[in-house]
Chains A and B, each alone.
Chain A
Amino acid sequence: MPGFELREQPKMGLTKLFDLTWTAIRYRLFRALMTVLVITVAVAFAVNLLLSGLNSRIVRNNTETELFELKTVSRWTSRISQTVDKDVVLREFAKSDLEEARAEEFIQFGLISPDEYPKLRQVAQEALAFIDFLNSLEYKERRELAGPVVGASILDHLAIPENRLKFLDTVGKFPTVRMEGSEEKFAALCQRWPETSRAIDAIKENWNASIARLLPLFVRQAPVEKLAEGSREFLDAIRKAGFLIDDLEFQRVSDLAKMEWLGIHLEASFAEPALKQALSRRLNMLPFEFEADRVWKRLQSASSAEWYRARYLEHARERMDWEAEDLQEIAQRRVRESRLQAAVNATSDAEDSAGLFGLSIKMSVLLIVSLMVCGVGITNALLMSVTERYREIATLKCLGALDISILWIFVMEASLQGVVGGIVGSLIGGLTSFAMALLSFGSIFLQDAPLLSMLQVFIVATIGGAFLAGAAAIYPSWKAARLAPLEAMRIE
């Protein structure tokens, strides 16, 4: 005759609990898959958003450095031939840390002591950021804040303390305008500005004076042509005028300028009637559709380049000496440049990286909101799938399940769904963002696809999904497991 001495109910091993969990999932497969689907969609959405942001930032960083290289010649021509105003100088000065020679040149032009230079450049960078901030405002707001002045002179105005205070006052009136950084930092910028302003003025004077000395050389030949010629005398003239350039750099620029000059010549040749007609026929374009960009695109192949060379030799009025490979290379550079430029334009909102993970503020806000929506979605899906099973929880309790076992069963099921949803979701989100980047940036994206950060995002999303789902199941299942069985049966 069994007596009633009570002992403790043994805890169940995880494998047995998993068996029970798996039995439940298998039978309710459709329901379980629906929950997985919700998690998948939520995770895919968040991952896609995050990776798209990261992708366009990476594309932007890469394109900017490459574009900088591709634009070497045009940078040099404008440097030695185009008179500058204060805003251009400010911009160039703020970015002068990119090239050592450039920094030195500015130190000489501005009569700055080398020790002062980093400090002044820092101020210039802050000033530039401030001016860009003003430019980003709506016309009405900018007008109210800065009056009719544009560019660097606004800072001259704000250097006077009263004006600054008035300005801050006006900013306070616009709820939509937010200035980055503290008021102290802004005050420091305004105070340090006059000194920097003087240096920039000096740079401007001397730079323009140097250009003035070179201008007579460009009366009969364009600066590109002069650079392409690459003569010793020209190099000496540049140096004497006050620009810093070493032999090696001059050689490099000159080689690039040769291509550039040839490119300009060839582009002009496309418009010659006989050649234009030949090109239109070959490329299957109507004359009014004729565009240099499209011609360059088609001339990238060796056969087309060869073909154009033959036509050129036949028809061109003014001839230069070139090989088919030269044309091919120029075409490729041109196409690449316009592609990079398009990519830079398309990723303009990735420019600021003040938000999360180095994303822009706008993107970060979007990401946070979407993460919250995903969180609520996942939590709700799990909450539903547990609450519809309170009766089952009650029955399991009647059969002698420990509260903790019930908790385990449900948390395990939810986490399992979370893992599957997380993996599938991050795969989908990753692939779609990859495809989107590939579509809009093409090969530019492929060469530096951020595979490592993609992998990180996958792992984080999978763990995050499982964790969130598991956590969401804890509350309802613990609530039901704690109660007496019949009470649990009554809460639906």
Chain B
Amino acid sequence: MGQEARESQSLERVIIRTVNLRKVYTQKKVETIALAGVDSEIYQGEFLSIMGPSGSGKSTFFNMIGGLDSPTSGRVMIDEVDVAQLTAIELAFLRCRKIGYIFQQYNLIQYMTALENVTTPMTFAGLAPDEARNRGMELLELVGLGERWAHRPIEMSGGQQQRVAIARSMANLPSVLLCDEPTANLDFQTGQEILDILKGLNQERGVTIICATHDHRMLDICDRLIWIRDGSIDRIARRDEVEINLGSVGGEG
């Protein structure tokens, strides 16, 4: 099976590639090297986990490949197009329909109801209001919040907000889903549900999923893992390789 998978991998298209990606934050003359030259390839349709200790640069990597922040040096290629070369309007299109984001701090818009939060990206994409409403309700039901569509973020628990954020990230059926710790604030049961949802999206709709996470259950469902440590890639492994060394992974996490 390992052999098979390796062959299929070489056939897969690279959807996101980073070339010597660096990000240095300068604050009050103190330089923090968040990413120190990362080369990586992400394949279309795979479920990728990014693991690493806190402060290792996962969120920074996530923001870079999502085209949400500009690198200090190096390049991010999405579908072999350099993100730095895109116009503002193309970038908006990319963020709106091609990539869905789930943030560590949810980033819901406080003055909008759950439903409005989910339908806003659809509005940006030019969807008719009725259609947006229907699709928004479907997505909220998918994450189990059909009843709470009229609630605002402050009226919901962290986990519920996280689920609204997942529904929102799926608004325009993106081909890539970027998740920054999607299960961090959820109880075991809900976390499992979210993982099932993500897995379902990956397997049934072929959505490429990239998850930054500490959650070890992710090991069971992801195709590949990237470990980041101090802003560099520590190790890349396929799941079947990892399963053998599960003990050592647990020690690192």
Contact = CB atoms under 8 A, between A and B. Distances in A.
Nearest to B45: A1
Interface string A4-28: 1011111010001000100110111
Interface stretch (A289-297, A469-477, A479-487): A479-487
B98 A398 contact: no
B93 A8 contact: yes
A394 B112 CA distance: 15
Interface string A175-192: 000000000000000000
B175 A12 contact: no
Contacts of A396: 109, 120
Chain A to chain B: the 7 pairs with minimum beta-carbon distance, closest first: A400-B96, A27-B111, A4-B79, A486-B69, A9-B93, A9-B92, A400-B124
Interface stretch (B81-89, B143-151, B186-194, B216-224): B81-89
A28 B175 contact: no
Contact of B107 (A6, A16, A395): A395
A52 to B, nearest CB: 41
B109 A395 contact: yes
A10 B90 contact: no
A8 B15 contact: no
A8 B79 CA distance: 17
B5 interface: no
B175 A4 contact: yes
A401 B124 contact: yes
Interface of A: 1-4, 6-10, 12, 16, 20, 23-24, 26-28, 391-392, 394-403, 405, 482, 484-487
Interface residues of B, number: 45
A6 B96 CA distance: 11
B107 to A, nearest CB: 5
A8 B92 CA distance: 8
Most chain A beta-carbon neighbours within 10 Å: one of B78, B126, B174: B126
B111 A6 contact: no
A28 B81 CA distance: 40
Interface string B108-119: 111110001000
Interface of B: 15, 44-45, 63, 67-70, 78-79, 81, 86, 88-90, 92-98, 101, 103, 107-112, 116, 120-121, 123-126, 152, 168, 171-175, 206
A399 B168 contact: yes
Contact of B90 (A6, A27, A28, A395): A6
A398 B123 contact: no
Given A4-B79, A8-B93, A392-B109, A400 B121 contact: yes
Contacts of A403: 88, 92
B27 to A, nearest CB: 9
Q: Is the interface of A mostly helix, strand, loop or mixed?
A: helix
Contacts, number: 106
Contacts of B121: 399-400
B92 A400 contact: yes
Given A6-B81, A402-B124, A484-B68, 15 more contacts: A1-B45, A2-B173, A3-B79, A4-B79, A4-B175, A6-B93, A8-B89, A9-B96, A9-B124, A27-B112, A394-B107, A395-B107, A398-B107, A484-B67, A485-B69
Contact of A486 (B63, B97, B98): B63
A485 B89 CA distance: 14
A398 B173 contact: no
A402 B95 contact: no
A487 B95 CA distance: 15
A132 to B, nearest CB: 62
A402 B89 contact: yes
B67 to A, nearest CB: 8
A401 B206 contact: no
Contacts of A1: 44-45, 175, 206
Contacts of A6: 81, 86, 90, 93-94, 98
Given A23-B116, A399-B120, A402-B92, A4 B110 contact: no
Contacts of A486: 63, 68-69
Contacts of B88: 402-403, 482
A23 B79 CA distance: 36
A398 B168 CA distance: 11
A398 B95 CA distance: 6
B93 A24 contact: no
Contacts of B95: 397-400, 485
A1 B12 CA distance: 13
Given A6-B90, A399-B96, A24 B124 contact: no
29 contacts: A2-B98, A4-B79, A4-B98, A6-B81, A6-B86, A6-B90, A7-B93, A9-B90, A9-B124, A12-B126, A16-B123, A23-B111, A23-B112, A23-B116, A27-B110, A27-B111, A392-B109, A392-B110, A395-B107, A397-B95, A399-B120, A399-B168, A399-B171, A400-B125, A400-B172, A401-B124, A402-B88, A482-B88, A484-B67
Contacts of A398: 68, 95, 101, 103, 107
A249 B30 CA distance: 94
A400 B97 contact: yes
A1 B176 CA distance: 11
Contacts of A7: 90, 93
Nearest to A403: B88
A487 B69 CA distance: 6
Nearest to B60: A486
Nearest to A482: B88
A71 B210 CA distance: 94
Contacts of B123: 12, 16, 20
Contacts of B78: 4
Given A28-B111, A400-B121, A486-B63, A4 B15 contact: yes
A3 B112 contact: no
A8 B110 CA distance: 28
A27 B151 CA distance: 13
Contacts of B152: 27
Contacts of B124: 9, 12, 399-402, 405
A403 B172 CA distance: 19
A9 B124 CA distance: 8
A9 B89 contact: yes
Contact of B69 (A10, A16, A484): A484
B129 to A, nearest CB: 8
A489 to B, nearest CB: 9
A328 B125 CA distance: 81
